[in-house]
Structures are given as structure tokens and as C-alpha cells.
Structure 1
Amino acid sequence: MYLIIFDVDGTLVDSQNTILHGLQVGFEAAGLPMPDRQTALSIVGRSLEEAFRDLVGPDHLEKAPLMAEAYRQSKISRRGQGLDIDPLYPGAREAIDRLHARDEVLLGIATGKAMRGVRHMQETHDLHDRFVTIQTADTSPSKPHPDMILRAMSETGVEPARTLMIGDTGFDMAMAKAAGVHALGVTWGYHDHARLAAEGADKIIHSFDELERALSDFLKYDEETV
């Protein structure tokens, strides 16, 4: 059995606009200026309070909980209005469906989102039965701590050599290396090729069209049997 773990933001869904809106709400709540777009998005993947701490720096660390709560409440409100709908990246749905259909593959999630955000994503895109293990910021330390992957392997009984983490940030790659599993970077998200490589990516792909070949290289199954 193989375990393939996906990050969410920047890997499965294009959430940059809704994340930026939430960050803006947080900075406004704290009376601080919003950083530029590239800087703001560089923290995607981190747990919410840790992300705000990274962005505000040592002079305003005490404001991070307030900012995180403002972000959360904005998300709850906007989702209740049918807003903040993050689209799947091209090819994501097809890739998930193909992998889910394989008897020897289990799918999981490891994300800096709260479970509430993951459930919203599942409901929006009808992905309720695809993932057998879901690890979130509610129960684990922020990436790159390996706890999410360790929990996923414990829940599924899959060993590190047969586990692969797929993500778009250096945090995902570093988390995978810390957990002793394979790391597959994707370049359509928030960190570039150089950062993914520097943080330990074993392989880097540029579209979901490349995923099956990459998985056959890592996990040693025949992609033609999909």
C-alpha cells in the first residue's frame, strides 16, 4: 500500500486571492501595513498564527493572535455568504480521481488550514470520500514540523518508504524530509523551483500532467494500469 499526501493551498486549489483578502483583514485589525503580494504569499502553508508572526516580525509578535482571529472570522463570514470559493487547479480533480481508483493507493491531506477550511474545500468540489487521513493545523504544529505526516502514516499504517508528500512550498518539502518520506514539489503554487529544491524536493513537476510519471518513479507502480 502507498500513501500519497497532498497539501491544499497552492497545490490542489488556487487560493491566492482569498488568502490575500484574509491577510488584509488581519493587518487592518492590527493597524499595520499590508506587505507586498509576494511577501504575503510566501508564508502560505504555515499555520495561521505562525504565518502572521513570520510576516509582522519581532516588533509585533503580540498582535499575531488578534490578526489570526480576524482572518478566521472573515473566512467564516464570507463562506457563509457563498464567497471565498477557491478553484481546483487544472488537472487536480482528474488526478485525485485516478489515484483514488487505485487499490494500492491511499490519499491524504496535510495542510496549514483548519479542518473547517478543508471541509469547505471538500464540499465545494465534492471530494468527501477521497482522503482517508486529513491532518490540519487544528491538531498539529505548523509545517515544517513533521507531525502531520507522522500522524497520517500512523493512521494508515503505511511506512515512510511508501509515503509521498506533494506540495508547493519549501515548508512541505522540509516537512517531508523531517518525516523521512519522499517529497514531490509543484511549481504552480507559492514557492519557486529554486526554493523547493533547496528545501529537499526529490523531484519537481510543473503541471498535473506530469504527476503520474513522477509517481511511478517514486512509488514503483506501473502508470499504465490506472
Structure 2
Amino acid sequence: MTDPLRLVIFDVDGTLVDSQGDIVAAMTVAFQDVDQPVPDRATILSIVGLSLDHAMARLAADRSAATQARMVEGYKNAYVNLRAKTGAADSSPLYPGAREALEFFKRQDNLLLGVATGKSRRGLDKLLEAHDLEHMFVTQQVSDHHPSKPHPSMIETALAETGVETQNAVMVGDTSYDMDMALAAHVSAIGVGWGYHDVSLLSSANRIVSTFAELPDAVAGAWKATAA
């Protein structure tokens, strides 16, 4: 019997790349520009994965919608400027083992790769170009076209674009938003231990890995579990 078509969907920030330096710096600028106290690093990183407007609404919940909108634009401008100074590859480096894991999966028959990220289309394009990953992912879901995580829209669209059934898909991410999105979309979820949410928050994960070297076995285990 022919193996079914399968799909591994990756989150980006905190999963494939470590972009926390620019995220914290850009958020600091956004708050300072409107003379607001800057949240601490842990609080800022806790919203990574959400679409920017949702993230800002959480961080600046006591500010007006107009002020939050100004802060969103301030963040975007600061992030672009920071990325331009150092280049996306240096400001958001791949985690150790990320490229090797992606290349391993890319070589597998009947397996497709996708992205589901809170980044904008522009931000994702810049990042993929910087790391020479433009052709790695056959489906790319960004914040421009979807409700914020953990709404399942990104995964549902990825499944529709690729024709993969829910039991043959897995979501890999570092935040509770990724895990809860996978749960809502009825796909398996693998949490990673090197990202921006403590592993204790990844309660919806089917499995948690601590290195990219563990990921192939974890993904294979997800297929076995759904086939059982």
C-alpha cells in the first residue's frame, strides 16, 4: 500500500530561529516611543507566536486601541531597522540542528514541510531568503491572512493546500499557542524545549523534544500513534 502524504508544520520564532534579541529590542522601542514602561524580557517573550496586534493588546492592555495601533507600527519600524543593521541571518539565527533536520525531512518521500507563524508575509520572506530556505516549505501560513494563534486557521489552510489528512500532519512549535492550535485543528503536536515558553506550558503537546536530533523519531512516533 502506498504511504500517505504527510506534512510537518513548523513555527518559526523560538522554534527554527532565535529572534528574541530583535523582538525584545523592537518592543522596547515601541513602548518607549509612547512613554510607557517597558515590560520585562520574560513578559515580552511570553507573547511571541501571537499575531502582533494580539500581542500588543496583551502587553498594553491598559492603553487605548489608538495607542496600541501606534505601538504596533513602532514595533514594525524598529524591527525592520534592527534587521537592516545586522541582516536577518545574524539577527535571527537558526537554532543548532535546525537546517539539518529540515534537510532530513525534505529528503523523505511523501513528506511535505510547511510553516505557520505569527510573522508577516514580508518578515517571513526576508527570513527565508536570508537563510536560503525559500524553497523548503510548500505551504507558508502568516499572520496577514489568518486569525492569531491558537485559532486553527493556519493549520486548516495548510492541510487544504497540500491535501494532507489531519492524522498525517504534525505541528512543531515552542509555545502553548502552537500546541493549542494543533489541538484545535486535530493534528499531533510536538513541543520543543529550547523556545520561549517553559515546557510546563506545553500541556497540549503529544511529545516534547529537547534537541533537533530527537525530532525525526518524534515525528515518526506521531505517525505510528495515529495509525494505531
Class of the TM-score when normalised by the shorter of the 2 chains: over 0.9
Aligned to 1:213: 217
Q: CA deviation at 1:59?
A: 4.2
Q: Distance in 2 between matches of 1:125 and 1:11?
A: 15
Aligned to 1:103: 109
Q: Distance in 2 between matches of 1:168 and 1:82?
A: 25
Q: CA deviation at 1:108?
A: 0.2
Q: Indicate the SS of the match to 1:220.
A: helix
Aligned to 1:224: none
Amino acid at match of 1:191: H
CA offsets 1:80-112 (integer angstroms, 9 cap, x no match):
344452100000000000101112110000000
CA offsets 1:88-141 (integer angstroms, 9 cap, x no match):
000000000010111211000000000111111111111011000000001001
Amino acid at match of 2:100: E
Pick one of 31, 37, 50 that aligns with 1:33: 37
Does residue 170 of structure 1 match 2:176?
yes
Does residue 92 of structure 1 match 2:84?
no
Amino acid at match of 2:108: R
After superposition, the CA RMSD in angstroms is 1.4
- Listed as ranges, the gaps of 5+ residues in structure 2 are none
Amino acid at match of 2:140: I
Aligned to 2:162: 156
CA offsets 1:125-173 (integer angstroms, 9 cap, x no match):
1101100000000100110111000110010010110010100000000
CA offsets 1:18-43 (integer angstroms, 9 cap, x no match):
10011011111222111111111100
Aligned to 1:21: 25
Aligned to 2:138: 132
Aligned to 1:45: 49
TM-score with structure 2 setting the length = 0.92
Q: CA deviation at 1:60?
A: 4.0
CA offsets 1:42-64 (integer angstroms, 9 cap, x no match):
00000011101111124444421
Q: Is residue 23–residue 79 contact of structure 2 (8 Å, CA) maintained in 1? A: no
Pick one of 160, 177, 183 that aligns with 2:189: 183
Overall identity of the aligned pairs, in %: 47
